[in-house]
Amino acid sequence: MSTEASDARALPSNVVRTLPYTLYVGTAAYAAVFASGEALALLVGLVLNEVSNHAAKAACKGIFGKDTVWIKRPAGAMDTGIYPSHQPKVSTTSGMPSGHAQTAWFAAVVFLHAVFRDPSRGIFSSLSSAISIVALAALTAISRTQYGGIFTVHVNGTPRPAHTVNQIILGGVLGVFNGLLALRVWESFA
């Protein structure tokens, strides 16, 4: 198979897998270029959400132990970085909770709030945006598991799921909670 065909096959998983990083960079750039207070607040929320993910991983390891099935990534999971072409190694890091799922659902909550608070949007426009936001968050989370199909990370043509379903569910729940908390804090200052 040619390199181009191989790269094209990896495109869906690479796009979905890099969405959290794209969100961080895009939000930071928007905040800087347009001096946007709302984008800066979103960036702070994203960073705090990331900090809470690391704290949750440490807490889960402390409570359950680092070798328990709830904490471990699925067999064959690899540390793939942003792009899995750098000779990845088998992952030994905690998979509980999924940071990708947590970030995706945090952003979904914030974006859904923005969509539905805009009075200039019609109901059909709001609903189609909401469906797209929820679908993208769900796809990002599911892509981290064995059920992600073409969206699951592949290394040398082999699917390498990074998380179990339980790990993405907990990540999603924490992301929704953090998103609601961030909106509450934002509205208390607005």
Q: What is the pLDDT of residue 22?
A: 92
Mean pLDDT of 51-78: 90
On the question of pLDDT at 29 being above 90, the answer is: yes
What is the C-alpha to C-alpha distance for residues 114 and 131, in angstroms, rounded to an integer? 14
Q: How far is CA 9 from CA 5, 13, 31, 67, 140, in A?
A: 6, 8, 34, 34, 17
Domain boundaries, the chain: 3-189
The pTM of the full predicted model, rounded to 2 decimals, is 0.89
Going by pLDDT thresholds of 50, 70 and 90, the confidence category of residue 125 is: confident
Q: What is the pLDDT of residue 138?
A: 96
* Domain with residues 3-189, CATH architecture: Up-down Bundle (1.20)
